[in-house]
Chains A and B, each alone.
Chain A
Amino acid sequence: MTIGNSERLPVIDHLSYSSVNTYRQCPLKWHFRYVEKIPEEVIGSALVFGSAVHSGIERHFQTLLETGKASTTEQLLEAFDECWTSFDTDLIKFGKGDDTQTMRELAKKMFTTFQVSHFANPKGNIVAVEESMRAEFVTGVPDVLARVDLAVQSGDELVLTDFKTSRSRWSADQAQSQAEQLLLYANLAGRVLDGKQIKLQFAVVTKAKTPQLEVHEVSLDAARLDRTKAVFSRVWDAIKSGNIYPAPTPMNCFSCGYKTACQAWNG
Chain B
Amino acid sequence: MAIRANVSFSQKHGQPDFGSVGAGCSLEFELDTTLLEKDSTALREQFDLAYIACRQAVQQQLTPFEQSEGVLSRAPVHSNTNGRKRPSRPATQSQQRALWAICNNHALNLEAVCRDEFDVPAADCLSISQASSLIDKLKNENSVSGGAR
Contacts and interface: CB of A to CB of B under 8 A. Distances in A.
A10 to B, nearest CB: 20
Interface string B51-66: 0000000001101100
A131 to B, nearest CB: 5
Interface in A12-69: 62, 65-68
A129 B95 CA distance: 9
> Looking at chain A, what size class is its interface with the partner chain?
20 to 34
Contact of B94 (A127, A136, A194): A127
Contacts of B101: 66
A194 B129 CA distance: 8
Q: B interface, by DSSP: helix, strand, loop or mixed?
A: helix
Contacts of A66: 97-98, 101-102, 135, 139
Contacts, number: 62
A67 B135 CA distance: 9
B136 interface: yes
B89 interface: yes
A67 B103 CA distance: 11
Interface in A121-147: 125-132, 134-136, 143
Contact of A127 (B67, B95, B102, B139): B95
A128 B128 CA distance: 10
A128 B63 CA distance: 16
Interface string B96-136: 01100110000000000000000000000001110110011
B25 to A, nearest CB: 14
Contact of B60 (A68, A134, A153): A134
B94 A126 contact: yes
Contacts of A62: 94, 97-98
Given A62-B97, A62-B98, A193-B128, A131 B92 contact: yes
B98 A134 contact: no
Interface in B47-94: 60-61, 63-64, 67-68, 89, 92-94
Nearest to B131: A127
Contact of A65 (B61, B94, B129): B94
A139 to B, nearest CB: 9
Contacts of B102: 66-67
Contact of A68 (B63, B132, B139): B139
A128 B56 CA distance: 14
A9 interface: no
A65 B64 contact: no
A191 interface: yes
A128 B95 CA distance: 7
A171 to B, nearest CB: 31
B64 A130 contact: no
Contact of A130 (B63, B94, B132, B139): B94
Nearest to B99: A66
Contacts of B68: 136
Contacts of A136: 64, 68
Interface string B134-147: 01100100000000
Given A62-B94, A62-B97, A128-B93, 11 more contacts: A65-B94, A65-B135, A66-B101, A66-B135, A128-B92, A130-B94, A131-B93, A132-B60, A136-B64, A151-B92, A153-B132
30 contacts: A62-B94, A65-B94, A65-B98, A65-B135, A66-B97, A66-B101, A66-B102, A66-B139, A67-B139, A68-B139, A125-B135, A125-B136, A127-B132, A130-B94, A131-B92, A131-B93, A131-B94, A132-B93, A134-B60, A134-B61, A134-B64, A135-B63, A136-B68, A151-B92, A153-B128, A192-B67, A193-B128, A194-B89, A194-B127, A194-B129
Interface of A: 62, 65-68, 125-132, 134-136, 143, 151, 153, 191-194
